[in-house]
A = this chain, B = another copy of it.
Amino acid sequence: MSDHIYKKIEIVGSSPKGIEDAVNNAISRAGKTIRNMNWFEVIEVRGHLENNKVGHWQVTVKVGFTLDNGQD
């Protein structure tokens, strides 16, 4: 309809469980202060190793949200 404008920010979520959970943690935290989040893109997957096992998955995502009035 109208010509929407979006902003993308880059967030890194972490989780001991896996990639999906790390992404959800990042999205959940971002949602505390951002309105109208629309989509995400996975940029990088890495993690820490502890005792020969994956200790934390770390997933970098770009999050896109609508720039409505009063939000920058």
Contacts and interface: CB of A to CB of B under 8 A. Distances in A.
A57 B18 CA distance: 15
Nearest to A60: B8
Residue among A12, A25, A56 facing the most chain B CB atoms (10 A cut-off): A12
Copies per complex of this chain: 12
Nearest to A34: B72
B48 A38 contact: yes
Contact of A39 (B14, B48, B67): B48
B42 A27 contact: no
B29 A49 contact: no
Nearest to A57: B20
- Shortest 3 CB-CB contacts between residues of A and residues of B: A31-B52, A42-B45, A6-B12
